[in-house]
Each structure stands twice: as C-alpha cells, then as structure tokens.
Amino acid sequence: MTVTDTPVQVGSPDPAATFDCRQDFAQELAALAREDDRVVAVCNDSVGSSNLTAFREEFPDRLVNVGIAEQDLVGVGAGLANAGLIPFVCAAAPFLTGRATEQIKADVAYSQRHVVLCGQSPGMAYGELGPTHHSIEDLSWMRAVAGLPVVVPADPQQTRAAVRWAAQLGRGSYLRIPRFKVPVVSQESDVFAPGRAVVVREGHDVTLVAVGSMVSRAVWAADALAADGISARVLNMAFVEPLDRDAVLAAARETAGIVTVEEATVSGGLGAAVASVVAQEHPCPMRILGVENAFAPTGSASFLLDHFGLTTEGVVAAAQDVVGRARS
C-alpha cells in the first residue's frame, strides 16, 4: 500500500466535538496491561496529570511512582525494561524530554531498551503556566536522538494506535500525548506505521503537513483554500521520525510547495525534517509554521496558538504565499 492509496477523508473535523487524548492513552494502556502482564506504568508524581488514577486502582502493583525525579524516572524505566517488563514512562513532556534528555539518549536509545516515553500535555497545553511548562522543544530534542521514533498522535484513535504500536516495538520510542482538545481527524481504515504519513485530504496545488493539534486546523485551512479555488493536500505526519520521505517528495513534485504546521519551535522539528528532505532531494517553496525563537507571553493554550499564528487563517495565508511564489 502506498501513501496515495490510503483512503481520503472527505469531511471536516467537527470543532464542537473535541477530546483530551490523555483519556484514550490511559484506557488503551489499561487494556494493554490486561492483555500483557509485562506492561507497567512509571510516573513522576503525575498519576493525576498522566490520567493514571484508574490504572493504579486496577493494577496497584504495576504503577511505579518515583516521585519528582525525572532522570531517575527514565533510568528506572530502562532498568525495568532490563528486567523484562514493558514500562510506559509518563511525565509532563517538557520535563520528561528536557530534564532527562541524556537518560533518554544513553539509557533508552543507545542502550536499545524497550521503554515507551510518554510526554504528556505537550506544546502549549500548559499555556498560563508559562514557557517553563511549554513543551515546544521536545520534537527537536527527541528527533536528534538516534534510533528513537518520535510519534505525535493527532486524535483519540491515533493515540490508541500509537500506544499499541509502541508496546510491541521492542525498543524505545517517544509518544507526544495531546492534552489540548482535538477533534477526530483519522479513520478506522488509516494505516498507522513508522515512516507512513496519513493522507487526510487529497489535493494538487499545495501540501499542508501537520502533526498533533495542528492537523484539524490544516484540514479546515484546506476547506477555506478550496473556497478560494486552491486544492490543498493534507498530510498527518504522525511519525516525525522516521519521516515519510516518499510522501514529502511526492508533495514536492506534485504540488506547488509545502506548508508545515506544528505546535512546537521551528528549530529542528517537523518543518526542519521536511525541509531537509525537500532541500536535498527536490527543492520547492516552503513555509514552516511554529514558534519562532520566542518564549510565549501569558495566556491559555488556544490564545497562544492564535498569538503565534498557528490558526486556520495562518495556514491559509502561508499556503497562499507558497502558491503565489510558485506561480510567480
């Protein structure tokens, strides 16, 4: 099955029905734990924020809480994997990836240990709590670690698929579990596999590549562009690593250019990954939407996404720019 063979969703995500994916994450983790005794959850005093309260009630002996100690958290996870368990290490994404970057590199990735690193509440989810609590660097940091898949589910179904996929991988991975409420953007028939983008919408003028909370906005942008006579392809690039190079190159060849959208810094994340392929293999106009070298002001998550132009309108404007540049 190639990317362009995958079914294409024709409808628009319903903005009135949105979900906190942590619930689906927790439910799927509990389902896995019922099927496999080796599955354990490990957290850093984040039972509530990682939505593990029900897991703890059902599996009191299979929830390890190391307290507020992220380096220990990841190291203990690697040791549990050494013992033959399948640890899901859960913590707020900024602290899991920031405070334990070296543990993730040395103890998990370099040591080839099957630890599922679950970054909770990423991006601007903790809007009002300020930049210390925003996880916008995690995609860049985790992408830089060799052999570590970086997965950004966009909705509840994809979150469940990511949990199940990571549990059978046999090596470590980083899952970015959304808290910012998202509508459904995937379908039952979507393929969830490394290096495989999901074509959410077919199109031939411009390609919008988005991850996580930005996928629905990209689809709404495609709707708006269609009204303007611009046919936009939308890719849900849930695997930032390994990236679907074929889908990127197809977009570069078959459409006028590419707009990437991520709830993250533009320094080294999804846009940089796509740009690296495009620049080296098939140069085309690009716009990379994200946070540009800035710490956020105070505000809610949705306020901050608006502030940084991560909106349907922002995507539309970038797409029009790309199309305009290609035509000029």
| Structural contact between residues 24 and 182, judged by C-beta atoms closer than 8 angstroms | no
Asked if 195 interacts with other proteins (CB under 8 A), we say: yes
| Structural contact between residues 173 and 145, judged by C-beta atoms closer than 8 angstroms | no
Asked if 46 interacts with other proteins (CB under 8 A), we say: no
**In the complex, minimum distance from the CB of residue 184 to other proteins, in angstroms, rounded to a whole number:** 11
Report how far residue 181's alpha carbon sits from residue 125's, in angstroms, rounded to the nearest whole number: 9
Asked if 85 interacts with other proteins (CB under 8 A), we say: yes
Of all helices (H) and strands (E), which one includes residue 219? Answer: helix 214-227
Segment near other proteins (CB under 8 A); pick from 122-130, 142-150, 263-271, 301-309: 142-150
Site string for other proteins, 266-305 (x = CB under 8 A): ----------------------------------------
Among candidate residues 141, 143, 180, 175, the one with its CA nearest the CA of residue 161: 175
Hey, what are 173's tokens?
């991975």
Asked if 5 interacts with other proteins (CB under 8 A), we say: no
Asked if 111 interacts with other proteins (CB under 8 A), we say: yes
Asked if 112 interacts with other proteins (CB under 8 A), we say: yes
Asked if 76 interacts with other proteins (CB under 8 A), we say: yes
Report how far residue 101's alpha carbon sits from residue 104's, in angstroms, rounded to the nearest whole number: 5
**Which one of residues 135, 140, 157, 312 is an interface residue with other proteins (CB under 8 A)?**
157
Residue for token digits 């060849």?
253
Question: Which long-range contacts (C-beta less than 8 Å, at least 24 apart) are formed by 29-32?
Answer: 29/55, 29/88, 29/163, 30/54, 30/55, 30/58, 30/59, 32/163, 32/164, 32/167
Asked if 102 interacts with other proteins (CB under 8 A), we say: yes
**Which one of residues 149, 178, 269, 314 is an interface residue with other proteins (CB under 8 A)?**
149
Asked if 55 interacts with other proteins (CB under 8 A), we say: no
In the beta sheet, which residues pair with residue 233?
Answer: 207
Sites of contact with other proteins (CB under 8 A): 40, 61-62, 64, 66-67, 69, 71-72, 74-85, 87, 102-103, 106-107, 110-113, 146-147, 149, 157-158, 160-161, 164-165, 168, 186-196, 242
